[in-house]
Amino acid sequence: MDSALSDPHNGSAEAGGPTNGTTRPPSTPEGIALAYGSLLLMALLPIFFGALRSVRCARGKNASDMPETITSRDAARFPIIASCTLLGLYLFFKIFSQEYINLLLSMYFFVLGILALSHTISPFMNKFFPANFPNRQYQLLFTQGSGENKEEIINYEFDTKDLVCLGLSSIVGVWYLLRKHWIANNLFGLAFSLNGVELLHLNNVSTGCILLGGLFIYDVFWVFGTNVMVTVAKSFEAPIKLVFPQDLLEKGLEADNFAMLGLGDIVIPGIFIALLLRFDISLKKNTHTYFYTSFAAYIFGLGLTIFIMHIFKHAQPALLYLVPACIGFPVLVALAKGEVTEMFSYESSAEILPHTPRLTHFPTVSGSPASLADSMQQKLAGPRRRRPQNPSAM
């Protein structure tokens, strides 16, 4: 997980810049402000819309959009898994040729990016199709075994509109694969972030605190304690970070002096903010106090990160500032309103997600979030239908 906010504007060869020892001219104050402001805006979009879509996803009955629930046990293990993954990538880049590794990763994320972007734009594109559009239904079914032992591996339903979205997303995918352009990278990164906020659900606030607290330590250690995080972020040519050029005003779309923000700094606080939105709805007071509070806290935390990074001219672990803000602000509001007990006793899986499958492992990038959730839902569909006849089976 890439969680560092990096600022290469001090003239050194960083974040995709030249590596031949030459220095680049310093970015203008206007260019720096544009880059920081754009990163902040791009971080807010998937959190806001992903949180809204997480509510519809939780209440919906579409198997392909069923969320995965993170429990306290999953949250406690995640920083360890993330650390092992990060260290493994670092060693890979040190031992093997960076060129070949990034070639494999490019092909991998080419497929995943297309699927994620297609799932992201599908609700928006449906509004543009005419009423008489010939929309046909399709099903992709893959099983193993036969007879009573037949088991579904993949059961994915889609229609003609989904194929159109897939085609449009493929154009972006080819653009990214051929050019590695920063705009294509950001389109994929935004899609991954929105899918993560929408489809990964914390089961309660305590779990959110465990996850954010653990990743707080993870982020600080790997950024301040070692050069592993920043090295992987610069070497890893994949849409796992949002980037924006600080020399855009001078070089236009071909600019190459990038500031970057890891997707972990968006998705991890984002799923906690989405949880608080669902908590707001469970209170049935027609207010979104905790959602707006945590959203404002995120803006404050990321803004503070950018400010500190600009002052000290060093990459910052954004979760160092985001975690205290995103947890502290809502808790203070709950204390003021006398709703701390309600906040920490709220169970998302019980109130809105009565049949959500528990996330028993943290998937790596082995499929789109929608397809992963679909696979888990299909596995649980049989036992759920048999519940009235055999309650003990659950």
Instruction: Please identify every residue annotated as catalytic.
Output: 219, 265
Residue type, 210: I
Q: How do the residues of the chain divide into helix, strand and coil, expressed in percent and rounded to 5?
A: 65, 10, 25
Kindly state the tokens that stand for 216: 């707080």
Residue type, 284: K
Pair 26, 17: CB distance under 8 Å: no
Task: Round to whole Å and give the CA distance between 2 and 18.
Answer: 21
Strands 151-159 and 200-202: unpaired
183-192 residues labelled b (16+ CB within 10 A) or e (exposed): ebbbbbbbbb
| Of residues 22, 15, 26, the one with CA closest to residue 250 | 26
Pair 376, 357: CB distance under 8 Å: yes
CB atoms within 10 A of CB 50: 27
Residue 302: enclosing H or E segment and its boundaries?
A: helix 289-312
Strands 200-202 and 4-6: unpaired
Strands 151-159 and 137-144: antiparallel
- If you search the block for the tokens 């001090």, which residue do you land on? 10
Task: Round to whole Å and give the CA distance between 165 and 143.
Answer: 26
Residue type, 95: I
| Of residues 336, 239, 337, 257, the one with CA closest to residue 35 | 257
Task: Round to whole Å and give the CA distance between 327 and 268.
Answer: 12
